[in-house]
Structure 1
Amino acid sequence: MRATAVRRTALAAAVASLALLATACSGSDSDAKGDGGASGAKDDASSKPAAVKALSSAELEKVSLEQGDVEGHKITKNGPEDIAQPGDVTVDKKECEPIGFAFYGVKRGTPVGNAGRKAVEEPKKDESADPEDALAGMLDVTSSLVTLASYDGDGAARSMAELRDSAAKCADGFTLSMKGSKQKVTKLTEEKVTGGEEALAWGLRMGEGDEAVPFKLVSIRQGGTVATFFSFNLGKTGEKAEFALPTALIDAQLGKLD
């Protein structure tokens, strides 16, 4: 395998470790979801839904994604062991805590119920005899941590507003640590997403140069429920590497919340 392939494999392995860490810290029964993103649906984060009654965790489980809901994806349920606690994640800037916590599904605000899923895109079949191309094809899959959090009153709208404010203040980057594993977010850029009553999305990078890893963070509010999608693609590394938002997952999840 050529040197570039070896380097790519090493970088992908590093990303895989981070990916496993992220999915091991998604919210389930006692974990509220953060939000993410740029502009999308209604841009007025201060609009307060009237008389919103939150869904319980059991009710959220019934409207969460299940295997078979999204073609070409393997979807599994997060369990109680997957819950990240506020003390597990630290951020070097207080104003960046909401956005940093959102990556790992750390509880924010006072949600009544939450639920979580892991969704992994199935690898595309590659008949190539070139080992580097075959490896690239196997790694070129998007994995997402999907979390739902439901709030009474205007709790969901306030959660979205807090996230938007945090992202605006932390666009130039910040450092976060997950159980001692330190990661540097070097860039945070708004992206376009639509859906629900409010939609936010960002592209972000961890690391620099050839070792930079792109991620996506999407947060959408439907009534008193906030759906958050934290995604990464193991086949994409480098300063200019990109991948698409997980629109199929987003559409499927919003369809179940309607």
Structure 2
Amino acid sequence: MRASLVRRSALAASVASLVLLATACGGSSDDSDSKSKAGDTSKSASAESAAPEQSDVKALTAAELEKVSLAQGDVADLKIENAGAEDILKASDVTSDKAECLPFAHALFAVPQGKPVATTARTAMAEPKASDTTTSGDASEKSLDDAMGAALNVSSTMVSLGSYEGGDAADVLAAVRKAATACASGFTATVQGEAQKLSAITEQKVAGGEEAVAWNVVEEQEGESFPFGLVVVRQGSTVSTFTTVNMAAAMDPSVKVEQPTALVAAQVKKVS
């Protein structure tokens, strides 16, 4: 797979683990998420009525944001770690061929939006069970392929948090939503100098926090499709973004990238 693309999605460590598991077995699998459709860009009545009150919201300090960020043990069966410095991108690392699409590109590649008072970043990965990735010494080629497929069928999520003053958190989510609608048919993001063609952005239903929105995203490169999942949630003065990949989904059309609902729920609970 294109390791550089996944690294720039701030999931290098997770993908490295998947590749090691796959090498131990040996096999294959390709995906494409379907057609794009712009979602409803209107805010809910509750979000609209709450907007004026946001001016009094105080941002969490760096220490406070660190305390409410996800940690190992917060979500069952997931390995949660601090993201490495090499996995965190700056705003200048990600550009767009269409200015109106930049907020979405930044959210997808875990770039802090606007002017956050503080930020944190975590990686979360569901580790495959040993029974799903081991085979006997005389295993058939199909068994090896099945084992490798199970090893790769693991979701990895980059969780990024930003705390904001006043109504900035609501503005950040609104900007990402607006960009997704304007760019639903696709655009090209350049990440650390390499172009990434995002061919489809489809809004999905999601629940969490005071405001939440999610999308399925398809990246095209060299004739292959690479699906992402993106969830953006606002709870008070904090915006959380969840970018999810699944290596098996990039190789097998029957495997879909699922929303990290357990992660979203756990993160919202800690911030609340």
Q: TM-score, normalised by structure 2?
A: 0.79
* Pairing of 1:91-106 with structure 2 (within 5 A): 91-106=96-111
Q: Is the Cα–Cα contact under 8 Å of residues 7 and 87 in structure 2 kept in the other structure?
A: no
Name the % identity. Answer: 44
Q: Is the Cα–Cα contact under 8 Å of residues 95 and 191 in structure 2 kept in the other structure?
A: yes
| Worse-matched range after superposition: 94-103 or 46-55 | 46-55
C-alpha separation between the residues in 2 aligned to 1:231 and 1:140?
12
Q: Is the Cα–Cα contact under 8 Å of residues 112 and 119 in structure 2 kept in the other structure?
A: no
Question: Which residue is 2:35 aligned to?
Answer: none
Q: Is the Cα–Cα contact under 8 Å of residues 11 and 158 in structure 2 kept in the other structure?
A: no
Deviations 1:101-136 (A, max 9, x none): 112222321111111101111113325541111110
Match of 1:167 among 180, 194, 202: 180
C-alpha separation between the residues in 2 aligned to 1:187 and 1:22?
17
Question: Which residue is 2:244 aligned to?
Answer: 231
- Which amino acid in structure 1 is aligned with residue 219 of structure 2? M
**Structure 1 alignment gaps of length 5 or more:** 1-12, 26-36
Match of 1:118 among 123, 128, 139: 123
- Which amino acid in structure 2 is aligned with residue 154 of structure 1? G
Q: Is the Cα–Cα contact under 8 Å of residues 55 and 112 in structure 1 kept in the other structure?
A: yes
Considering only aligned residues, what root-mean-square deviation do their CA atoms show, in Å? 2.4
Question: Which residue is 2:71 aligned to?
Answer: 66
| Worse-matched range after superposition: 153-162 or 205-214 | 205-214
C-alpha separation between the residues in 2 aligned to 1:239 and 1:93?
29
Question: Which residue is 2:261 aligned to?
Answer: 247
- Which amino acid in structure 1 is aligned with residue 124 of structure 2? A
Distance 1:245 1:210, change over 3 A: farther
| Matched residue SS, 1:207 | strand
Question: Which residue is 2:5 aligned to?
Answer: 18
Give the superposition deviation at 1:71.
Answer: 1.2
**Structure 2 alignment gaps of length 5 or more:** 13-37
| Matched residue SS, 2:181 | helix
Q: Is the Cα–Cα contact under 8 Å of residues 68 and 271 in structure 2 kept in the other structure?
A: yes
Give the superposition deviation at 1:50.
Answer: 4.8
Question: Which residue is 1:83 aligned to?
Answer: 88
Give the superposition deviation at 1:21.
Answer: 2.2
Distance 1:175 1:240, change over 3 A: farther
C-alpha separation between the residues in 1 aligned to 2:44 and 2:148?
41
Q: TM-score, normalised by structure 1?
A: 0.83
**Number of residue pairs matched by the alignment:** 233
Question: Looking at CA atoms only, which structure, 1 or 2, has the larger radius of gyration?
Answer: 2
* Pairing of 1:14-53 with structure 2 (within 5 A): 14=2, 16-23=3-10, 43-44=44-45, 46=48, 47-48=50-51, 49-53=54-58
Q: Is the Cα–Cα contact under 8 Å of residues 104 and 180 in structure 2 kept in the other structure?
A: yes
Give the superposition deviation at 1:38.
Answer: 6.5
Question: Which residue is 2:20 aligned to?
Answer: none
Distance 1:182 1:241, change over 3 A: farther
